[in-house]
Amino acid sequence: MRAAILLVLLLMPGQVWAEAQRPASMADLAFFVGNWAIDGEGVDFTGKPFKISAHYLVAFDLDGAWLSASGEILGAKLREYWGYDARKHEFLRIQFQSNGTFTVLHSTGCRKDTLLWDGEGHAPNGELFVLRSNQVREDADSMLVTWERHTGTSWKVYSTERLRRIAG
């Protein structure tokens, strides 16, 4: 009898999570779900300009509790997860790149048509950098994304990207 009760108690939390619905907070991120074409330009950390032409796929994942995103930009493959931290009442975005860089970003959510992320990036050489991203919805199928890095005294734009939703 004790073994049966213990077994039920051990299985119950997993069953509760398996039946969980998508957190209501994730509805705030539904606009970003889709297949996106990216065109943009920027300046790398040495000052060299670059052009961006890429694809970026965002989908609900893990039973809708997270968004997963993937793409390849400037030869670096990337994977991301976006979710909601209910304890902190903020969104969390973690990005991993094939060159070893990873970022951890936070957002309080959309304000009108803008989603602001801020956080830290970690380079493979151990360098830590502070960055932020503004994602501005232009219409139902496009947005303008600006990435900035803090130089220690001010914010400096290093990438401006226009994303357009495409079929597929």
Task: Quote helix, strand, coil % in the chain, to nearest 5.
Answer: 15, 60, 25
Q: What is the dihedral of CA 145, 109, 57, 98, to 10 degrees?
A: 80
Read off the pLDDT of residues 151-162 as tens digits, 9 standing for 90 and up: 999 999 999 999
The confidence score (pLDDT) of residue 70 equals 96
| DSSP letter (8 states) at residue 127 | -
Q: What is the rounded CA–CA span in Å between residue 101 and residue 29?
A: 24
Domains and their CATH numbers in the chain = 24-166 (2.40.128.20)
The confidence score (pLDDT) of residue 141 equals 96
Q: Which residues contact 143 (CB under 8 A, 6 or more apart)?
A: 135, 136, 137, 162, 163
14, pLDDT greater than 90? no
In the predicted model, what is the mean pLDDT of residues 88-102?
94
Read off the pLDDT of residues 100-141 as tens digits, 9 standing for 90 and up: 999 999 999 888 999 999 999 999 999 999 999 999 999 999
* Mean pLDDT, the chain, whole residue set: 86
The confidence score (pLDDT) of residue 149 equals 93
C-alpha dihedral sign at 84, 154, 96, 31: positive
pTM of the model: 0.82
The confidence score (pLDDT) of residue 97 equals 94
| Confidence grade of residue 33 (pLDDT, cut at 50, 70, 90) | very high
Q: Which residue has the tokens 């947005």?
A: 143
Q: What is the rounded CA–CA span in Å between residue 20 and residue 114?
A: 29
12, pLDDT greater than 80? no
